[in-house]
């Protein structure tokens, strides 16, 4: 269960995963080419606060359950309530008609991203805080 204070981050991570799956779908269906997929989260410049944010995001990622029914149902709900209506309103043709059509692309994206894709970057370059 996501704590109330994490709800916005949970939704952002879920949308990050969904948008990556849509990109992968467009690559395989329409021949588009996307070099990378990144999510930027800005935080404090204080190392302790940055470390805490990194830990929070990492924990939310690991608890995302993107490859099991509970997580996929959450993603499907967002897909059907947010992405589909918005794309139909905007006339976006390069979106699958159903979440089931997106599933192979979701599997591909989860494989690409791996189990722990979170990287912390400071003004001194990339680093992963100690836990």
Mind listing the pLDDT tens digit for each residue in 23-47? 999 888 877 777 778 888 877 778 7
Alpha helix (H) residue ranges in 1-131: 7-30, 47-62, 69-78, 84-90, 99-113
pLDDT-flagged residues of the chain (< 50): 1-2, 129-131
Contact status, residue 48 vs residue 37, Cβ threshold 8 Å: no
Contact status, residue 61 vs residue 118, Cβ threshold 8 Å: yes
Give the residue numbers spanning the domain of 18: 4-127
What is the predicted pLDDT for the residue at 4?
56
Residue 20 CB coordination number (10 Å): 22
What is the predicted pLDDT for the residue at 28?
87
The total number of structural domains that make up the chain:
1
What is the predicted pLDDT for the residue at 131?
40
What is the predicted pLDDT for the residue at 99?
96
Residue 85 CB coordination number (10 Å): 10
Residue 79 burial (10 A CB sphere; 0-12, 13-18, 19+): buried
């Amino acid at each position: 269960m996501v704590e109330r204070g994490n709800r916005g981050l949970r939704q952002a991570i879920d949308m990050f995963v969904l948008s990556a799956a849509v990109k992968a779908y467009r690559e395989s269906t329409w021949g588009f080419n996307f070099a990378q997929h990144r999510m930027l989260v800005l935080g404090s410049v204080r190392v302790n606060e940055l470390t805490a944010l990194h830990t929070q995001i990492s924990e939310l990622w690991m608890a995302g359950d993107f490859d099991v029914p509970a997580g996929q149902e959450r993603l499907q709900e967002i897909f059907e309530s947010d992405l589909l209506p918005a794309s139909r309103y905007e006339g976006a043709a390069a979106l699958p008609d159903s979440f089931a059509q997106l599933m192979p692309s979701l599997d591909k994206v989860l494989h690409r991203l791996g189990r722990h894709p979170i990287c912390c970057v400071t003004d001194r370059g990339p680093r992963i805080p100690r836990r």
